[in-house]
Amino acid sequence: MAVLVGKKAPVFSAEAVVNGGEMVEKFSLEQFVGKKNVILFFYPADFTFVCPTEIIAFQDKIAEFEKRDTQVVGVSVDSAFSHWKWLQTEKKEGGIKGVKFPLVADNAMTISLNYDVLAGEYDYDEEGATVFEGTPMAYRGLFLIDKAGDVRHQVVNDMPLGRSVDETLRMIDALQFFEENGEVCPADWHKGDEGLTASQEGISDYLGKRD
């Protein structure tokens, strides 16, 4: 699994569905560079079980992301039409109607491959034909990309393990606290807590307060 933290987020241009039903041909994260942070998260597939709980949870707290100048973007290997259909389906019928943030179509699996969250890989069989070994879906990868287009945080879960939206918000808060104050965030830091200076004195002072 590649570690992308500290590196430029891989670029892409792909079909997506935005605003709950508008299909666009060339969606790119470049439109947010210099303007917004991005939470880019991958999920295995449309019309599944854990995935809608995560997607709806992100939508339920979308105002919190907006307050933090952060754009949420979802990606799966499904087609843009599949995304569109799922977005038109009522929640009681297994859909995600009401979700407004972009869902990107990665049916060529190249975005998942470049972010190294694809649950399998291409290989060659004995006859030299290209085959795919593994599961042609993405793990539950999540990347916090700052306004400069750099990856600052990543986490990858196996497919059965849903993610925490609150933890995602906490990481955005930690990044913004560091950017604004120059202080680092200790274990279990939450917005409103004190940070600490990256020095032995700062660490000793912080630990002393916890005794």
pLDDT in tens, 53-94: 999 999 999 999 999 999 999 999 999 999 999 999 999 999
Name the CA radius of gyration of the chain, rounded: 19
Q: Tokens 């913004």 belong to which residue?
A: 176
Residues 6 or more apart whose Cβ sits within 8 Å of residue 151: 4, 5, 6, 7, 8, 9, 143, 144, 145
Write down the pTM of the prediction: 0.92
| pLDDT (tens digit per residue) in 4-15 | 999 999 999 999
State how far the Cα of 165 lies from the Cα of 143, in Å rounded to an integer.
13
Question: Which listed CATH number (3.40.50.1100, 3.40.30.10, 2.60.120.10, 3.90.700.10) goes with 14-162?
Answer: 3.40.30.10
State how far the Cα of 90 lies from the Cα of 96, in Å rounded to an integer.
6
What is the residue extent of each domain of the chain? 14-162, 164-211
Catalytic residue among 51, 111, 169, 185: 51
Q: How many other CB atoms are there within 10 angstroms of residue 54's CB atom?
A: 20
| pLDDT (tens digit per residue) in 16-28 | 999 999 999 999 9
pLDDT of res. 201: 56
**8 A C-beta contact, residue 103 and residue 56:** no
pLDDT of res. 200: 47
Q: Which two structure tokens, joined as six digits, stand for 132?
A: 């795919």
Please say if the pLDDT value at position 203 is more than 80: no
State how far the Cα of 139 lies from the Cα of 44, in Å rounded to an integer.
6
Please say if the pLDDT value at position 41 is more than 80: yes
Q: Tokens 């995600």 belong to which residue?
A: 96
Please say if the pLDDT value at position 207 is more than 70: no
| pLDDT (tens digit per residue) in 168-178 | 999 999 999 99
Active site residue 185: no
Rounded to 5 degrees, φ, ψ at 42 are -105, 145
Q: How many other CB atoms are there within 10 angstroms of residue 13's CB atom?
A: 13
